[in-house]
Amino acid sequence: MTAAFQKLGDELAVAEAWMLVGKEVVVATVVETWGSAPRPVGSHLVIDQDGNFEGSVSGGCVEGSVITDAMDVLKSGEPKMLEFGVADETAWQVGLSCGGKIRVYLERIG
């Protein structure tokens, strides 16, 4: 399914489908934004144990970093809060240069 045809919440339906076939899943959710942020609060990225993903928390800027942290959350079972912003050294490494900040909460479900 292309992004143009996705509806709000499709990512959670994908996560549910993955769980129904026995996959472990992490949901990453934008929980807070400041300034210019690429995606609004409530945006989701779902990641399965194989590294498959659906959705977006940043329009592509920080997804790679979020997916890497999601693998840690899958292993540990412990939720994690991530923060990305233009003032952070890591923001330039992952490409968030829009001038704002985002906080992303990662949680294993199922």
Q: How far apart are CA 25 and CA 73, in angstroms?
A: 9
pLDDT over threshold 90, residue 36 = no
Q: How many distinct structural domains can be found in the chain?
A: 1
Domain that holds residue 8: 3-109
Mean pLDDT of all residues in 24-52: 93
pLDDT band of 86, cuts 50, 70, 90: low
Q: In the chain, how many H helices and how many E strands?
A: 3, 5
Q: In which order are the strands placed within the sheet that holds 44-48?
A: 53-55, 44-48, 25-34, 101-109, 80-85
pLDDT over threshold 90, residue 93 = no
pLDDT band of 6, cuts 50, 70, 90: very low
Q: How far apart are CA 82 and CA 105, in angstroms?
A: 6
Could you tell me where the beta strands, DSSP code E, fall in the chain? 25-34, 44-48, 53-55, 80-85, 101-109
pLDDT of residue 64: 92
Buried (b) or exposed (e) across 61-86, using 16+ Cβ within 10 A?
bbbebbbebbeebbeeeeebebebbe
Mean pLDDT of all residues in 3-9: 47
pLDDT of residue 1: 38
pLDDT of residue 109: 94
Q: How far apart are CA 57 and CA 51, in angstroms?
A: 16
Least confident of 5-9, 11-15, 18-22, 82-86: 5-9
Mean pLDDT of all residues in 20-31: 97
pLDDT of residue 90: 53
> Using alpha carbons only, how large is the chain's radius of gyration in Å?
13
